[in-house]
Amino acid sequence: MGLLEDKVVLVNGGSQGVGSGTVRAAVREGATVVFTGRRAEAGEKLAADTGARFVRADLSDQAQARDSVVQVVAAHGRIDCLVNAAGLTSRGSLLDTTPELFDQHMAINLRAPFFAMQAAVADMTARKAPGTIVNIGSNCAHGGPPHLAPYSAAKAGLAGLTRNAAHAHRWDRIRINGLNIGWTDTEGEDATQRAFHDAGDDWREKAAAALPMGKLGQVDEIAHFVVFLLSDRSGVVTGSVIDWDQIVFGGQD
């Protein structure tokens, strides 16, 4: 028996990065998996590789964020687990962020999880059934670098939302947790490093040499942790926003 045997799981933002890793891990653990993404080619390939169902969606549209859950319930009769993994990391500081960029970050990094959670919790409570939700946050929720001002603001909001929703629905037996992940080796991060930081092909090696564990965070490691939090194996844990990183916040040299 896998950790998610007979569970219906939706991974929003599942066509690449941590979301893609979570799709693969959830399928391996026995779940029926639906995932969303904007890139049809990547989504269809992952669906073919895993047997999961791909739904193309633009989560910056709150109606599509809600509808991702509606489609899962329509197809499978219920949703047991939700993972909010979509993220926008485009750069912007306090001084140069435009209203348009700010709104893009809020739409993807905060509003989409809010309304997907709203729809998922509505289904769970209507059925009087337990469920689990994991929100993929960022260590930038603690402050973040100057060039990630709107991103940090949105991820701080997501951490607060995670705790608020977990408290509100603890008596419904709906467990809601978050992972504040650090610097992670994904295809999206590779594109970001090249686009915004003039990184060369050796950027991963340079980054790894400057990190305590000698490597960036790995997608499969994070995905295993997400599956654990979704599963009954994680027990009663709810309202936890875990710093999944090699930075020790509050530590001083």
Catalytic residue positions, numbered: 151
Asked if 236 and 130 count as a contact pair (C-beta separation under 8 A), the reply is no
Contact present, 8 and 79 (Cβ < 8 Å): yes
Q: CB neighbours (10 Å) of residue 6?
A: 10
Give the rounded distance of the alpha carbon of 101 from its chain centre: 20
Task: Give me 236's structure tokens.
Answer: 């009663």
Residue 21 sits at the vertex; the CA angle it makes with 148 and 14, to the nearest 5 degrees, is 70
Residues 112, 99 contacting (CB under 8 angstroms): no
Q: How far apart are CA 137 and CA 133, in angstroms?
A: 13
Half-sphere exposure at residue 34, Cβ-oriented, CA atoms within 13 angstroms: 23
